[in-house]
């Protein structure tokens, strides 16, 4: 097999090319190729310098993440090669372009000089995988940019552009030329002026401006801000070790890296890295499916969701028209968008010019004829089937042939709405999450008749606007809200049994959930949640159980809509949720009404199991029904849309970590202790069968 690393020459210069598409990741074959190339360069003393460059779209985007799980994985061969590269007695230059990340930047830092294309992005993003730079990035970077900035870059994982890297001395020169030419020209100039090797490992970290308690405070800060991420603490310790002699720092980094690589947190985050990329691939849909152009977008309804949705497109430079029923609603919607942009400008995230440029891309209208020229129209009117059917029929008539019609419904039957348009092949669900301009998730709902190119276009568009798109089939609530429904069901039963919203939220927040179910619905709006339940009831979806979601319905009746009215499950002191005796009274009254026994303290472990196990069970049903293509899609939905902790890898990954037999046993336990007249605790056949076979949900594949 051809090696992904080749060594050629250009006059006196040896050219080491890395060619491992798509991103030149440092696979074992690349590392072996590097070793062989360095051997050859060392043997050939006729070359005066060595140039490293990457073929294709980038230099090297990092270590090969898929190899981290190999039983014999070790950074040793690569790290040893870096040491050999740095020790070479002839100048070694890295010609950088694309995304120089992780092990790619560590390779560049082992070289003596670096030249970069102006569009190059450089960074050490390992923290996003729950690890730390394990090939001396924590040791060499502080020696170039200082410990403080190095810690900031490594702990945040953010990338910097070539110009900033040049200012910091990370890059020696910028050049617009192709990497190979830029590198050769740089080396020729180096040789002409007689410059030789320079080794970062021989420098000391500048400590003059470092506060004496800098690392102590950084460690405390990491523990406070990232209590669930051991990488945050290990990164501080590794950067602190850069103050030691290089070899000692190297040993510390190796130990701290290995601790993280084998940690459950990093495994979960690596799982999500690949799940996110896999989610964009639709089985049976060729990669080269012809896309429909989307140059202009229309949004119907400028409420909470419509406004946020429109911002996504304006942010991506796509002109967007918002259509409303009244001037007042339109003015309010556009006013909120402007206020959001201005708030970003006040935080320094946008310039005043950018605010105006984005607002200029947004137009309002009271006439749906304004949607006639749009390539994509998304309806975001009230969640009401009759209204949405009328709206879809109107869009079917108004939108030009070939335009895509999308609905942002969070629960309604997309196939019914598709038929209402009269052109179901053009219809797809685009379920944004609130706030739509912030949340990364986009559930793309594939209707029975959605055309393949419509689906492919929307998946590509999701990338353009920076969303993680996950495809769902049609069912009540799709993947996310269908699972959230059983979660909320149990939260309300627990409340009626005597647990307070704070106890319920606290139990799952202790696992790292961004927000428990009660805070979540108070923020999204009790009215929104209640109306969904009511609509579901009208469609015949609810179990014959008057106690089902009784709390949300009561709260809605009482006008307790959550944060927006100052009270919901909690009472609000500004935006701070406070326990409200009124909620306890309502819950007790409902319990009495429905014959639900009240209990004293419900243990947090029971709360966790009762909230999460039915949710996992529903996830298994979603898989067996083919609503989600794969287990990782469900994990992505929950991490990107519902604040499920990334260090647990999503509910399916977490279920496998707990063990399916244990989950099956506990579901059976609650079926017995709580009773199961409506099938709330009935185990999904898939989960039962996998548990019986000792298998994992993550390994399940549709037949």
- Report cis status (omega within 30 of 0) of the bond before 435: yes
- Report cis status (omega within 30 of 0) of the bond before 191: no
Residue 134 binds to ligand 3HC (criterion: CB under 6 A): yes
Q: Where are the alpha helices (DSSP H) in 399-514?
A: 414-421, 452-464, 480-497, 501-509
* Residue whose token pair is 């190979």: 180
62 binds, among ligand NAI, ligand 3HC, none (CB under 5 to 8 A by kind): ligand 3HC
Residue 472 binds to ligand NAI (criterion: CB under 6 A): no
- Our CB check for ligand NAI shows the closer of 147 and 391 to be 391
Nearest-approach distance from CB 702 to ligand NAI, in angstroms:
27
Which range binds ligand NAI by CB under 6 A, 163-171, 342-350, 406-414, 501-509?
Answer: 406-414
Report the residue from 33, 53, 126, 237 that binds ligand 3HC according to the rule CB under 6 A: 126
23 binds, among ligand 3HC, ligand NAI, none (CB under 5 to 8 A by kind): ligand 3HC
Q: Which two tokens stand for residue 463?
A: 């990338």
Could you say which residues in the range 373-392 bind ligand NAI, by CB under 6 A? 380-383, 391
Residue 135 binds to ligand 3HC (criterion: CB under 6 A): yes
CB-based contacts of 567: which residues, under 8 Å, 6+ apart? 560, 580, 582
Nearest-approach distance from CB 515 to ligand NAI, in angstroms:
13
> How many residues are listed for the chain in this entry?
703
Q: Which two tokens stand for residue 65?
A: 């993440």
632 contacts 639 by C-beta, under 8 angstroms: no
DSSP collapsed to 3 states, 316-358: CCCCEEEECCCHHHHHHHHHHHHHHHHHHHHCCCCCHHHHHHH
Residue 609 binds to ligand 3HC (criterion: CB under 6 A): no
Residue 108 binds to ligand 3HC (criterion: CB under 6 A): no
Residues binding ligand 3HC: number (CB under 6 A): 23
551 contacts 496 by C-beta, under 8 angstroms: yes
Nearest-approach distance from CB 60 to ligand 3HC, in angstroms:
9
* DSSP run (H or E) holding 119: none
* Short-list 85, 107, 1, 78, CA closest to 41: 85
Residue 300 binds to ligand NAI (criterion: CB under 6 A): yes
The conformational region for residue 683 under phi > 0 = left, psi -120 to 50 = alpha, else beta, is beta
* Residue whose token pair is 């690949």: 274
381 binds, among ligand NAI, ligand 3HC, none (CB under 5 to 8 A by kind): ligand NAI
Report the residue from 61, 272, 334, 520 that binds ligand 3HC according to the rule CB under 6 A: 61
Residue 302 binds to ligand NAI (criterion: CB under 6 A): yes
* 3-state secondary structure at position 671: helix
363 contacts 391 by C-beta, under 8 angstroms: no
Residue 269 binds to ligand 3HC (criterion: CB under 6 A): no
- Our CB check for ligand 3HC shows the closer of 101 and 507 to be 101
C-alpha–C-alpha distance, residues 527 and 546, integer Å: 18
Could you say which residues in the range 326-345 bind ligand NAI, by CB under 6 A? 329
375 contacts 299 by C-beta, under 8 angstroms: no
CB-based contacts of 147: which residues, under 8 Å, 6+ apart? 205, 206, 207, 210, 214, 239, 240, 242, 243
Could you say which residues in the range 506-535 bind ligand NAI, by CB under 6 A? 524, 528
434 binds, among ligand 3HC, ligand NAI, none (CB under 5 to 8 A by kind): ligand NAI
Residue 301 binds to ligand NAI (criterion: CB under 6 A): yes
* Short-list 619, 696, 648, 616, CA closest to 267: 648
* Short-list 662, 651, 658, 666, CA closest to 621: 651
126 is catalytic: yes
**Marked catalytic residue, from 42, 55, 86, 126:** 126
Report the residue from 205, 323, 430, 640 that binds ligand NAI according to the rule CB under 6 A: 323
- Our CB check for ligand 3HC shows the closer of 64 and 324 to be 64
Report the residue from 434, 676, 682, 689 that binds ligand NAI according to the rule CB under 6 A: 434
C-alpha–C-alpha distance, residues 124 and 104, integer Å: 9
Nearest-approach distance from CB 654 to ligand NAI, in angstroms:
24
Residue 325 binds to ligand NAI (criterion: CB under 6 A): yes
- Our CB check for ligand NAI shows the closer of 323 and 502 to be 323
Nearest-approach distance from CB 653 to ligand NAI, in angstroms:
25
C-alpha–C-alpha distance, residues 81 and 31, integer Å: 8
Which range binds ligand 3HC by CB under 6 A, 101-109, 323-331, 598-606, 613-621?
Answer: 101-109
695 contacts 623 by C-beta, under 8 angstroms: no
Residue 443 binds to ligand NAI (criterion: CB under 6 A): no
408 binds, among ligand 3HC, ligand NAI, none (CB under 5 to 8 A by kind): ligand NAI
**Helices 264-279 and 651-658: angle between axes, nearest 10 degrees:** 140
C-alpha distances in Å from residue 133, one per residue of 116, 128, 254, 555, 693 = 21, 11, 9, 50, 38
Residue 102 binds to ligand 3HC (criterion: CB under 6 A): yes
**Marked catalytic residue, from 42, 55, 86, 106:** 106
Which range binds ligand NAI by CB under 6 A, 118-126, 340-348, 397-405, 407-415?
Answer: 407-415
C-alpha–C-alpha distance, residues 218 and 226, integer Å: 11
Which range binds ligand 3HC by CB under 6 A, 133-141, 198-206, 316-324, 655-663?
Answer: 133-141
517 binds, among ligand NAI, ligand 3HC, none (CB under 5 to 8 A by kind): none
173 is catalytic: no
Residue 408 binds to ligand NAI (criterion: CB under 6 A): yes
Q: Which two tokens stand for residue 299?
A: 């949004």
Report the residue from 304, 457, 500, 503 that binds ligand NAI according to the rule CB under 6 A: 304
CB-based contacts of 32: which residues, under 8 Å, 6+ apart? 3, 5, 77
Could you say which residues in the range 1-30 bind ligand NAI, by CB under 6 A? none
65 binds, among ligand 3HC, ligand NAI, none (CB under 5 to 8 A by kind): ligand 3HC
Report the residue from 4, 33, 54, 63 that binds ligand 3HC according to the rule CB under 6 A: 63
Report the residue from 4, 33, 91, 125 that binds ligand 3HC according to the rule CB under 6 A: 125
Q: Using alpha carbons only, what angle is made at residue 412 by residues 619 and 548, rounded to the nearest 5 degrees?
A: 65
Residues serving a catalytic function are: 106, 126
Positions in the binding site for ligand 3HC (CB under 6 A): 22-23, 25, 61-66, 75, 99, 101-103, 106, 125-126, 129, 133-135, 137, 277
Note the residues at the interface with ligand NAI (CB under 6 A): 300-306, 323-325, 329, 380-383, 391, 408-410, 432-434, 524, 528
């Amino acid at each position: 097999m051809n090696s992904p690393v080749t060594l050629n020459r250009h006059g006196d210069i040896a050219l080491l090319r890395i060619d491992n598409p798509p991103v030149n990741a440092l696979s074992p074959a690349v590392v072996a190729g590097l070793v062989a190339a360095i051997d050859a360069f060392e043997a050939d003393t006729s070359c005066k310098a060595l140039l490293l460059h990457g073929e294709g779209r980038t230099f090297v985007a990092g270590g090969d993440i898929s190899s981290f799980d190999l039983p014999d994985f070790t950074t040793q061969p690569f790290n040893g090669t870096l040491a050999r590269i740095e020790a070479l007695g002839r100048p070694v230059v890295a010609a950088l372009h694309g995304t120089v990340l992780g092990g790619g930047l560590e390779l560049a830092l082992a070289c003596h000089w670096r030249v970069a294309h102006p569009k190059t992005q450089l960074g050490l993003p390992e923290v996003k995988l729950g690890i730390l730079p394990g090939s001396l990035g924590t040791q060499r970077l502080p020696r170039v940019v200082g410990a403080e900035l190095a810690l900031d870059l490594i702990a945040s994982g953010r990338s910097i552009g070539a110009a900033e890297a040049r200012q910091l001395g990370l890059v020696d020169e910028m050049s617009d030329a192709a990497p190979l030419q830029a590198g050769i020209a740089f080396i020729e100039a180096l040789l002409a002026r007689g410059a030789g090797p320079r080794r970062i490992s021989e420098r000391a970290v500048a400590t003059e401006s470092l506060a004496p308690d800098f690392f102590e405070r950084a460690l405390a800060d990491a523990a406070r801000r990232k209590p669930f991420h051991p990488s945050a603490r290990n990164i501080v310790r590794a950067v602190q070790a850069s103050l030691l002699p290089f070899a000692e720092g190297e040993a510390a980094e190796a130990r701290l890296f290995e601790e993280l690589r084998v940690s459950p947190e990093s495994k979960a985050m690596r799982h999500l890295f690949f799940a996110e990329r896999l989610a964009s691939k639709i089985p049976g849909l060729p990669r080269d499916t012809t896309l429909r152009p989307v140059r202009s977008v229309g949004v119907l309804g400028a409420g909470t969701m419509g406004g946020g949705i429109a911002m996504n497109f304006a942010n991506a430079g796509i002109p967007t028209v918002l259509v409303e029923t009244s001037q007042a609603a339109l003015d309010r919607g556009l006013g909120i968008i402007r206020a959001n942009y201005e708030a970003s400008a006040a935080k320094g995230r946008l310039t005043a010019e950018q605010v105006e440029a984005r607002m200029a891309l947004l137009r309002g209208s009271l006439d749906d004829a304004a949607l006639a020229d749009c390539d994509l129209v998304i309806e975001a009117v009230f969640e009401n089937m009759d209204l949405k059917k009328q709206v879809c029929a109107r869009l079917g008539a108004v939108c030009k042939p070939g335009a895509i019609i999308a609905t942002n419904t969070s629960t309604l039957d997309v196939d019914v709405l598709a038929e209402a348009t009269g052109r179901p092949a053009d219809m797809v669900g685009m379920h944004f999450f609130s706030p739509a301009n912030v949340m990364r998730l986009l559930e793309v709902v594939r209707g029975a008749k959605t055309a393949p190119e419509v689906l492919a276009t929307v998946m590509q568009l999701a990338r353009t606007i920076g969303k993680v798109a996950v495809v769902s089939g049609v069912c009540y609530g799709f993947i996310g809200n269908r699972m959230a429904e059983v979660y909320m069901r149990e939260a309300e039963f627990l409340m009626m049994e005597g647990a307070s919203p704070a106890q319920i939220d606290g139990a799952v927040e202790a696992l790292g959930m961004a927000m428990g179910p009660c805070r979540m619905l108070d923020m999204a709006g009790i009215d929104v949640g209640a109306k969904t339940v009511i609509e579901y009831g009208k469609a015949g979806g609810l179990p014959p159980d008057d106690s089902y979601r009784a709390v949300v319905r009561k709260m809605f009746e009482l006008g307790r809509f959550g944060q927006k009215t100052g009270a919901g499950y909690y009472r609000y002191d500004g935006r701070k949720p406070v326990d409200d005796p009124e909620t306890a009274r309502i819950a007790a009254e409902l319990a009495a009404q429905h014959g639900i026994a009240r209990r004293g303290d419900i243990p947090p472990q029971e709360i966790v199991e009762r909230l999460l196990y039915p949710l996992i069970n529903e996830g298994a049903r979603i898989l067996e029904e083919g609503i989600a293509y794969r287990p990782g899609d469900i994990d992505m939905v929950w991490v990107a849309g519902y604040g499920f902790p990334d260090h647990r890898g999503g509910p399916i990954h977490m279920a496998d970590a707990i063990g399916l037999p244990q989950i099956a046993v506990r579901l059976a336990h609650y079926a017995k202790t709580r009773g199961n007249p409506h099938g709330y605790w009935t185990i999904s056949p898939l989960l039962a069968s996998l548990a019986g076979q000792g298998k994992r949900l993550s390994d399940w594949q549709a037949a």
